[in-house]
Structure 1
Amino acid sequence: MELLQLQYFQTVARLEHITKAAEELNIAQPSLSKTIARLEKHVGVPLFDRQGRSIRLNPFGKVFLERVERVFSELEEGKREVRDMAGLNRGSITLGASLTSVLPELLGAFLSLYPNVHFRQLLEPTAVMKRMLEDGEMDLCITTAPVEGADMEWAPLRTEQFYVVVPDNHRLVGRDSVSLIELKDETFIGLRSGYWFRSLTDSICERAGFTPNTMLEVDEPDAVVLLLRRRLGIMFAPEMAWKKREHLMPHRLRITDPDCTVTTGLAWSRRHYLSLAAQRFRQFVIEYFGNV
């Protein structure tokens, strides 16, 4: 059994189409078909169900595919580890973040010490970031809730209050605090359903006795601020995020009932190798928040 056979099998399994797989692999279709047939002979069972030109992964193929993907994942992990040990790259980190307000200062401070590290920052819904951590597509993730899973680690970094922020013309301007139930008839602006902070605020509102009327949902925190400034609704904001943008949204109110706090933490998977750069950044993040 050769790695090339496994690669071909993986592509055919993903596309479930011999012609498309041959085009993607840039090989002749008869050659690909023969390779798959040899692999099936070596394994001892058919891996696909064939009906005319249709080809579908069968139960044997699905089990085999899981093992094949694990093989390639381990090889990629090994390649990254060896390159890192040998100093063949200058460090690359894929970072997820459910709250982005702290990133400019955090990344700026780290890059002043390690200027050759390359960052790719992502903001995705909770389920997507969890899957990326599990699959090794993301190294670390700054979240506002623990990431659950057998191989997941989550280090709490900071617990802080979060506020409700209102626009200039709002009836609550001038007040210092508000009970959450007073907001039951308000129009809210927030991140799209499925993001960590949105899930947290929705659940707290529901515990207070109402479902928030979120009329405007976006994918970027800065877009929420811009919509607030257009007086299109009210929003929730953690203390640190509010302080970073206080000049843009000065009217914030403390929530007295219930007590509203959010804990920010750092998540990673024990199953996947973290490069030296990612390990260094993980420790830097923990120390950075410890000094905030």
Structure 2
Amino acid sequence: MDLHMLRQFLVVARLEHLSRAAEELRVAQPSLSRTIARLEGELGAPLFDRAGRLRLNDTGKLFRGHVERALGELDAGRRAVAEAAGEGFGTVRLASETFLTFTAPLAAYKRAHPDVEVELHQMPAADMSRALLAQDVDLCAASQPIHADGLESVRLLDEEVWLATPLDHPLAGRASVTVDELAGQPFIAAHKGHWQRRLLDRLFAARDLTPKIVCEGDEVGSIAELIIAGFGVGLVPGLARRSASMAPVAWIAVDSPDCRRTLSLYWGAGSRLSAAARLMRTTIAGWDWIAGEPREG
């Protein structure tokens, strides 16, 4: 087996669809099918279940983990050699659910290190552990826990999450509101898997309730705009409340100790971070999120 074959296997394993994988790889589907069959022949075991839709089986999942780590180490080795040879200060790859939170520290980092090549990857938290362990990215920022062995993390921010409503909403004059009182309210929500949506679902499930969602989407930054337009209410983190660009909405505390978010930065425990990645980790971990500037000292 060769690296080309292994990289093709990872695409098929990710998509679990031969024709889409062939399109992404820009190869003919019959050729890709032969590549996968040849790999399975060399391994002496099938990697996919082919009854109906193509599915990665348990053996394939086991092999995928080893391939991701192996290719990740090779890529890390290439970057380390380039850095040691003086071919640039290095590259840093950061993944996050959203980059709205990181605009200021990323701008400060780029001003301080203009020669660093920065790659930003928007990614759901569910995919972050695999990306880190495979060394597809160096750092991941998530507002929900990433449960996986082999990762290290630092807490960046723990803050209250508020209910935001239009200024003329019946709840707008309230200092706080219970989850029970929010039953039946139209919510503007992020898609399933995003931390805001998971928090909303968790708060309601604890009361044996289901939120009424009238808008669900990927554009988290548009939630406030839809709220001010009168389409519904939504959960918005306290950091956004302090933003000068935040639309004028009413802010109401949710009477639940669980209505909070914890923002953390993750990296692989055994990975050799480039100098550029170490500097970004220091910049983000040392950021004062309230003042919007680096912490003193």
Asked if Structure 1 and Structure 2 have the same fold, meaning a TM-score greater than 0.5 normalized by the shorter chain, the answer is: yes
Provide closer, same or farther for how the CA distance between residues 177 and 100 of structure 1 changes in structure 2, counting only shifts above 3 A: farther
Give deviations 1:37-75, integer Å, cap 9, x for gaps: 9x97xx7x75779xxxxxxx9999987776555443322
Aligned residues: 269
Q: Sort the Cα spacing of 1:138 and 1:74 in 2 relative to 1 into closer, same or farther, 3 A.
A: closer
Matched residues in 2 for 1:212 and 1:206: separation? 9
**1:288 counterpart = 2:284:** no
Distance 1:61 1:149 in 2: 19
Measure the CA separation in 2 of the matches of 1:138 and 1:266.
12
Name the counterpart of 1:121.
Answer: 120
Per the alignment, residue 149 of structure 1 pairs with 148
- Inter-CA distance 270–244: structure 2 relative to 1 (3 Å threshold): same
State the Cα deviation string for residues 177-216 of structure 1 (Å, max 9, x = none). 2222211110111210111232123212322442211221
Q: Structure 2 matches for 1:183-222, cutoff 5 A? A: 183-222=182-221
Contact 1:165–1:252 under 8 Å retained in 2: yes
Contact 1:180 1:258 survives alignment (8 Å): no
Matched, 1:7 2:6: no
What is the aligned partner in structure 2 of residue 52 from structure 1? Answer: none
Q: Once the two structures are superposed, what CA deviation does each residue of 1:231-268 show, in whole Å capped at 9, x if it has no partner? A: 11101111112211565133111123445222111111
Q: Do the aligned residues in 2 keep the contact of 1:93 with 1:118 (CA within 8 Å)?
A: yes
d(CA) in 1 for partners of 2:192 and 2:208? 19
Letter in 2 for 1:170: H
Letter in 2 for 1:198: R
Distance in 1, Cα, partners of 2:173 & 2:290: 32
Return the letter of the residue paired with 1:278: A
1:113: Cα distance to partner?
A: 1.3
Mapped contact 1:157–1:263 kept (Cα < 8 A):
yes
Structure 1 residues 89-108: aligned runs within 5 Å: 89-108=88-107
| SS of 2:94 mapped into structure 1 | strand
- Give the counterpart letter for 1:84 in structure 2: E
1:54 corresponds in structure 2 to none
Give me the whole-angstrom Cα distance separating, in 2, the residues matched to 1:111 and 1:130: 26
CA distance in 1, matches of 2:181, 2:60: 57
- SS of equivalent residue, structure 2 residue 286: helix
Counterparts of 1:61 and 1:81, CA distance in 2: 30
Check 1:223–1:109 CA distance in 2 against 1; reply closer, same or farther (3 A cut). Answer: same
Q: So what's the TM-score if we normalise by structure 2?
A: 0.75
Aligned partner of 1:91: which letter?
G
CA distance in 2, matches of 1:237, 1:263: 13
Judge which range, 189-198 or 83-92, deviates more. 83-92
CA distance in 1, matches of 2:127, 2:187: 24
Counterpart-to-counterpart distance in 2, 1:148 and 1:154 = 11
Greater CA drift, 238-247 or 143-152: 238-247
SS in 2 for 1:236: strand
Distance 1:186 1:269 in 2: 41
Distance 2:201 2:175 in 1: 22
Query: Does the 8 Å CA contact 1:165/1:236 hold for their aligned counterparts?
Result: yes
Match of 2:260 in 1: 261
Q: Report if aligned partners of 1:130, 1:147 keep a CA contact under 8 Å in 2.
A: yes
The residue number in structure 1 matching 2:249 is: 250
2:171 corresponds in structure 1 to 172
Could you tell me how far apart the structure 1 residues matched to 2:255 and 2:103 are?
A: 31
Query: TM-score of the superposition, structure 1-length normalised?
Result: 0.77
Q: Measured at CA, do residues 291 and 277 of structure 1 come closer, stay the same or move farther in structure 2, by a change above 3 Å?
A: farther
Unaligned runs of 5+ in 1: 50-56
**CA shift for structure 1 position 288:** 0.9
Alignment of structure 1 residues 27-176 onto 2, 5 Å: 67=66, 70-176=69-175
Higher helix share: 1
RMSD between aligned residues: 3.6
Say if 2:227 and 2:249, in contact at 8 Å, map to a contact too.
no
The whole-number CA distance in structure 1 between the counterparts of 2:154 and 2:127 is 20
**Contact 2:179 2:254 (C-alpha < 8 Å) held by counterparts:** yes
- Distance (Å, rounded) in 1 between the aligned partners of 2:259 and 2:146: 20
SS of aligned partner of 1:244: coil
Gaps of 5+ in 2: 13-17, 48-55, 292-297
Asked if 2 retains the 8 angstrom alpha-carbon contact of 1:101 and 1:244, the reply is no
Decide which moves more: 189-198 or 61-70: 61-70
Where does residue 53 of structure 1 map in the other structure?
A: none
- Residue type of the alignment partner of 1:226: E
CA distance in 2, matches of 1:291, 1:253: 19
